Chains A and B, each alone.
Chain A
Amino acid sequence: MTVFKSFLKVARRNIGSVAIYVIIMLVMSFIMLSYLGDTGGDLQVSTSDYKVAVINGDGADPLTQGLLSFLGSRAQLVPLEDTGEKAVLVTLFWREADHVLRIPAGFGQSLQTGHPLAITTMSSPNDYAHMYVDTYVNRFLATLRLYQERSPDMDPALLLAQVNQDLKDEVIIAPVSGQGDAYLSTVWYFRYASYTLLAAVASGMGVVMAVLQKKRLVMRARVSSTSETSRNIQLFLAGLLYSSIIWLVLVILGVAVTRLPLAQLLAPRFRLILLSSFLYMLICMAISLVVSSFTQNRNVITGVNNVIALGSSFLGGVFVPVEVMGDQVAAMGKALPAYWYTQAVRGIGEAADNLGTALPGYWRHMGILGLMLAVLLAATLLINSTKRQRGL
């Protein structure tokens, strides 16, 4: 087992390049899973924590106060000391408020005329939840004006009570299954872990292979008493052990940061997610073998592997969901293992409790990943065989 031991010895000396990616994954998952909340990365649906600042130029007008009171029941009103334009921009930039409403003087009075004044709004960059608040404001004022037009002599207090009564209930989205957020976090983790797996396994193994595939070392090995088959098997087993350790570390890390309960750890859903990540790990190994067949320069190997890892993670829907990307990009992504891995993990992780309908899709994705693995291994064999025949 000389080759096997040599592989692990070289791997141990280059553990730093793998550790970098694992640390990045650890920090990334800690930040994301600690602060992302219960939405698992999806859209915010309630505005109860949404910070709205109101610059009220209309003072104590009862209708304006009614609007503020209604807004206060739907969002978190935050005070704004400096109401200048620059200060508002700073407030939005630092997200001290997500949305700022500026109510002009005479707004309440203008509601009683045919030409109500408009409330100007500004929102934080790339914020979408302000749409909810704007909708609430418009709905409140439209309802108020409607009642006002039909009953002009109605007391403002009664008017506001009527409007609040009409708008009192918020439609809620109730979860249909009891799977909770645990699997959403797990899906997120294993989606992102594909980047770490690819970067760590490909770079780590690539560096080891760069050493073991050096021409003079290979030529020395060929004249040794160990057969080529035995040498290749030892290399494969050592690579498998090395990659499996990285995979296992990432799995343990995932279980720790997602705090997956024991019952869910033993559930078929988690086992299927593990299976797909293990298959993806084999693909990472194969990618590393293909790259190191072309070059033994460790810097080139690290560079190429980083481009492959980051590129396929962006185009394969790991960092950015494929739904957000255009159809052409999604079609391009289908040529990448990361795309099928992400589909498999998301499909099974987000599936219903009984997994029944998700399984055919899952196995199809796994089949495609299996085929990609076979193609990559065949390519490695072909390249190495060609190089050997040419005496390279």
Chain B
Amino acid sequence: MFLNVYRYNLKSAFRQKIMLFWSLAFPILMATFFFVAFGNIGASERLKEPIRIAYVGQPQALQMVNLRDILAQIPLHEGSSQEMFDIRDASEAEARALVQEKQVSAAVVAGDPPRILADKVSVSQVVVKQVVEQVATTQRTIMNLMRTDPKAPFQEIATALNTSQYTQAVPVNKDLMQPDIIYYFALLAMASLGASTAGAFTIVSQQANKSPEGARNTVSPTSKWSRVFANGLSTYTVQLATTLVVVGYITLVLGKSLGRSLPELLLIVAMGTLMGVAMGMAIGALSRGNENMIVGFSVGAYMLSSFLGGLMSADIQRLVDTNLPWLAAINPGSMIVKALYSLFYYGQTEARYLLQMLLAILVFAGLAAISLRRRYHDSI
């Protein structure tokens, strides 16, 4: 009987187009959006055109101390014929107006030390700050040396001062680390937890007071637990299959690397999907409302959970992780994202995330079981 219920529910689950849309089509569409939106994200790190700045200061006779001339000579990139800065001379009042009117990204006010005026801090302003700071400190050192040795080779000294030879970066997964990877992990968390809607339906379809299907199932000779378990298992089978298709789409079609160990990746996804189904079953069993309300709860729960995992903004995941660690520890979406991220980062999954997920599965399943036990309907 168990196999019969499993088989028929499997067929039924594969024929529910709307459920397949949420489990399969929706994550695939979202992955495609991510791929299109973030496809060029690395290229934006390189400056495409000169930064417009205003310069406030008197021209200096000595070129070595003329900040304006030095800024004007810096190339946009190594070997580029374009300069890094497009400079407009202005008084301080004019420079402020230019910044406010967004005609320049920042204004550099010459002095010791120089000042930078800006109305926000983004990539352009950071570049201006870094360059001006570098030039200012180099100038100061050279001026000190000039006092003792006016004939020192200042060009060589300036080059020696602007070296990066003293530090050597050891990359952590340099080739794999991409700024958009968290979005894909959050998407996989969403696809896995999306199984909660199907899990909630599993419970709704077994309760006589929540759906006509449930009323029919209740009068069947199969025991409640056998039905619930068979239905849950078939739902899990379908949901796992759809999540794996999403993983395949991201890795094979979009060409994104999701980690170095496929078995561990599949284990996380399998556990995540099981957590989703169990979460949905717990919501379905605990909610007193009708079918629509239960589905609404489950959609809200998994969307909120995925959002906290970084689905809509990678900053959210970082902020939750650093400022609200208790929330990250109990949020199913964060568990999946962190497990995937640790696999990606270390090359192997941190056991603690798998344990957290296992614990969450047991808690959800326990809640569903406690809520469903001894729930009978009078014969009318």
Contact = CB atoms under 8 A, between A and B. Distances in A.
B113 A171 contact: yes
Given A23-B304, A28-B307, A166-B141, A176 B346 contact: no
Interface stretch (A133-141, A213-221, A226-234, A380-388): A133-141
Contact of B169 (A36, A45, A122): A122
A353 B100 contact: yes
Interface stretch (B261-269, B277-285, B319-327, B370-378): B319-327
A324 B38 CA distance: 8
Nearest to B108: A171
B71 interface: no
Interface string B6-44: 000000000000100110011001100110111111011
B223 interface: no
Interface in B333-359: 342, 345-346
A370 interface: no
Contacts of B123: 43
Interface stretch (B124-132, B206-214, B241-249): B124-132
Given A45-B129, A326-B43, A311 B29 contact: yes
B166 A116 contact: yes
Contact of A315 (B37, B172, B303): B37
A2 to B, nearest CB: 24
Contacts of A329: 36-37, 39-40
B165 interface: yes
B366 interface: no
A172 B165 contact: no
A85 to B, nearest CB: 9
Interface in A30-49: 31-32, 34-36, 39-43, 45
Nearest to A144: B166
Contacts of A132: 130
A20 B300 contact: yes
A310 B30 contact: yes
Interface in A292-336: 299-300, 303, 306-307, 310-311, 313-315, 319-320, 323-329, 332
Contacts of B145: 146, 150
A69 interface: no
Interface stretch (A87-95, A236-244, A277-285): A87-95
A145 B102 CA distance: 41
B103 to A, nearest CB: 8
Contacts of A311: 29-30, 33
A27 B307 contact: yes
B74 to A, nearest CB: 15
A357 B173 CA distance: 46
Contacts of A123: 169, 172
Given A16-B296, A36-B319, A171-B136, A319 B312 contact: yes
Greatest chain A CB density within 10 A among B26, B119, B144, B293 is at B119
Interface in B132-163: 132-134, 136-137, 140-141, 144-145, 148-149, 152, 157, 160-163
Contacts of A314: 33-34, 37
A249 B132 CA distance: 46
A141 B324 CA distance: 38
B101 A121 contact: no
Contacts, number: 246
Contacts of A357: 101-102
Contacts of A45: 121, 125-126, 129
Contacts of A92: 172
A173 B316 CA distance: 26
B215 interface: no
Nearest to B106: A173
A177 interface: yes
Interface string A179-214: 100001000000010010000000000000000000
Interface in B90-136: 96-97, 99-102, 106-107, 112-123, 125-126, 129-130, 132-134, 136
B164 interface: yes
A272 interface: no
A118 interface: yes
A93 B38 contact: no
A268 to B, nearest CB: 16
A143 interface: yes
Contact of A303 (B22, B34, B114, B152): B22
A17 interface: yes
A170 interface: yes
Contacts of B100: 176-177, 352-354
A326 B342 CA distance: 29
B116 A171 contact: yes
Contacts of A19: 300
A176 B99 contact: yes
A121 B171 CA distance: 8
Greatest chain B CB density within 10 A among A143, A300, A324 is at A324
A20 B132 CA distance: 48
A142 B160 contact: yes
Interface string B293-309: 10011011001100110
Interface in A343-375: 350-354, 356-358
A174 B113 CA distance: 13
B37 A170 contact: no
A118 B183 CA distance: 35
A126 interface: yes
Given A43-B126, A315-B33, A121 B132 contact: no
Contact of A119 (B97, B107, B167): B167
A148 to B, nearest CB: 12
Contacts of A89: 172, 345-346
A164 to B, nearest CB: 11
B168 interface: yes
A162 interface: yes
A82 interface: no
B53 to A, nearest CB: 12
- A-B CB proximity, top 4 nearest: A326-B40, A352-B100, A20-B300, A169-B113
Given A43-B123, A118-B167, 6 more contacts: A20-B296, A20-B300, A35-B322, A93-B342, A125-B345, A138-B165
10 contacts: A24-B307, A126-B182, A134-B169, A142-B160, A173-B116, A176-B107, A303-B21, A319-B313, A325-B40, A326-B44
